[in-house]
Amino acid sequence: MKPVLRIFCCFFISAIFVVATAGICYSQLPEGQHVPLFSLKDVKGRNYDLSSMKNQPMVIIYFFDVDSRPSQEGLLNIDQLSKQYKDADLMVWGVTRSSTNKVNKFIATIQPSFPVLIDSSGVSDLYHARLILPTICILGPDLKLLDYFQGGGRTTEVMLVKLAERKLQRKQTKIARAISEKVVKKNPKNVRAKTVQGYAELKEGKLDEAEKTFYNLSRKKGEAEVLGKEGLSTVYAKKGQTEKALKVAREVEEKAADRAQVHVVKGNLLYRQNKVKEAEGEYKKAIRKKGSEPYQSAVAYNQLGRIHAGRGNYKKSRELYDQAVAMDPYYIEATSNKGLTYEREGNWEKALEAYRKAQAVDPNDPFTTVLADNAQKRLLMEKDLEKKRMLEDKVKELVARYNGGIREDVSGEDSWTSRAVILSFFDFMETGGLAERDGFVAVISARLTRQLEASGRVQVVGRILVERLVKALGIDQKDLADKETTLRLARALGATLLVKGSVYYLPGGPLLKINMMDTDSSEKSNVITRQFSSEITVKKDMHWLNREILTNIILHYPLQAYVVEVSGHQVLVNLGSREGVVTGTIFNVIEESAPVVYKGKSFQPDPSVIAQVHVIKIEPEFSYGHIKNQRRPIKPDDKLRENIDNLSKIGDKIHIW
């Protein structure tokens, strides 16, 4: 063959190969669809079936070659993070077509935290992962493909940033920051990795740090400026700096008119100013923008859903919530909001189904855990005919008490011995901005109920009973705002304390104000306030509230009892666990003095403390104590009053700290 012809033929064949392989390069699985299922084994013969991972929130399938270091780069980065952060929750399957011997050498050298599966059945072909390695698939709930990457180098960096964003969507801020910091360390110019850092700080409530991160980005040109200012507008809005937030938002609109985030920020600010129509308009603008991240558009759909739910248009709100989840499968706020629309229609089965879906994505979410538990209880109640009948009879009894203006009958009890402290929660008034999560008040009251009852010191009137009584009496929300009406309801329910309050949705989080009123004397009340900074701190905030409420109850309602009998240094007390006595409770044995009259004036001296009784054993109605610091012999019918000088020890015993 002539040289020129040979060169032409070689060139022609090479061109055909490039075109063919290019076609394969760009062939990929469709995002948002279920991936092909497979079953592969590792070098020890253990079987891994992808169908078993259906309920996992995230799975990473990483196709690679054990002889190619570039194809392993991203995998090794993920492995290092898994080993460094035990709670990283990085579920990875490595898949290779390499030989068993080579895989064994790789495992011996790397000692990966993930299984390496040998593809001997064409799985790589199903995923278009034969010619281009690595090929990485990030799978979301129900094994739907979220992200698909092919190639190493720059693509590995893009993949890691996307993984960080997905972790951020799941509120796993620590690992999201760790991944982004790793990327930035290698490439300080990676704008998107720095943006993830800023939003992670924002979700953790570290507003000053987030502001600094976004400000530094905003000082650069191009994409960095837009993303930086977008983040800054969000930070300023969270800080309540409305004018600064709007100013920066306008700058983003001028630079990048197709971004959605600033319209969400503006919508939230307008809603807080009670400009609901204008806010709705901004959210609608946001969902029409095509240049934003899907998870940002998801928030806009969710906020629109909340507006429609507030109007009672639950069908429309559910459609919007579904669109939000379609945009961001980890956006469980929309899923739990959807459940609440079913709750309000009395469809507890559908509500529970929604909450279960949210729990599958994030089992640790404090909101959906409480909502699902409540829905489960409601369903069981509906199916238990005997319990339903008993509830209906109880409601009839309470209606009669309410109409007669009487309390629960406690005749026969002495006036000194403590009764159990009973709390009755009523719905709190909600004002201010539009939170992404619906049901904040229901969740807070349910969690407080569980924590307070677990202390043993307090009994809480069931939410179902309160709701049924209010419904039976035909009392509406306007009536419940009336202090005398709610006091009358609380007295009919036999409550010692009426707990009402308000929630004001501030940019930085809800401000909760709780007012605890004594039902005998409404002038006797205590107010507790708490600013919730972010969802991440909900558990911490709840422990604080629980502590404050219990501390107030102990201070204002100390336990009082009588000595029943004395045996040596041990006494029997007529109060037990039903009234809140716990092991370690200290009672003062008191002796009341006669009034002192001096020059026509009379006053009552404080009782003398003649001994202490340290409780060492408790039963439901009685407790046993050991006498200490005795000044005279203790006898039956001596009065006892709880010693609250050492409140921290009491707190340790009844879990208020």
B/e letters for 570-593, b = 16+ CB within 10 Å, e = fewer, are: ebbbbbbbebbbbeebbbbbbeee
Show the CA angle centred on residue 221, arms to residues 215 and 227, nearest 5°: 50
The answer to whether residue 488 scores a pLDDT higher than 80 is yes
Nearest to 317 by CA among 331, 304, 327: 304
Q: Which two tokens stand for residue 97?
A: 């077509």
Task: Determine the Cα–Cα distance for residues 186 and 188; give it in Å rounded to an integer.
Answer: 6
Task: Determine the Cα–Cα distance for residues 23 and 84; give it in Å rounded to an integer.
Answer: 39
The answer to whether residue 417 scores a pLDDT higher than 80 is yes
pLDDT at residue 571 in the model: 96
The answer to whether residue 597 scores a pLDDT higher than 90 is no
| Least confident residue range of 223-232, 397-406, 628-637 | 397-406
Task: Determine the Cα–Cα distance for residues 66 and 527; give it in Å rounded to an integer.
Answer: 64
Please write the tens of the pLDDT for every residue from 538-569: 778 888 888 899 988 988 999 999 999 999 99
Domain topology for 385-556: Rossmann fold (3.40.50)
Q: Name the segment(s) of the chain with CATH classification 2.40.10.410.
A: 560-654
Question: Residue 134, preceding bond cis, omega within 30 degrees?
Answer: yes
Q: Name the segment(s) of the chain with CATH classification 3.40.50.10070.
A: 385-556
Instruction: Enter the DSSP assignment of 144.
Output: B
Instruction: Give CA separation, 298 vs 260, 485, 508, in Å.
Output: 10, 41, 20
Q: Tell me the CATH number of domain 560-654, given options 2.40.128.30, 3.10.20.340, 2.40.10.410, 3.30.365.10.
A: 2.40.10.410
The rounded mean pLDDT for the chain is 89
pLDDT at residue 26 in the model: 43
Task: Determine the Cα–Cα distance for residues 8 and 14; give it in Å rounded to an integer.
Answer: 10
Task: Determine the Cα–Cα distance for residues 117 and 47; give it in Å rounded to an integer.
Answer: 9
Please write the tens of the pLDDT for every residue from 294-331: 889 999 999 999 999 999 999 999 999 999 999 999 99
Are 63 and 96 spatial neighbours (Cβ–Cβ below 8 Å)? yes
The answer to whether residue 212 scores a pLDDT higher than 50 is yes
Query: pTM (2 decimals)?
Result: 0.85
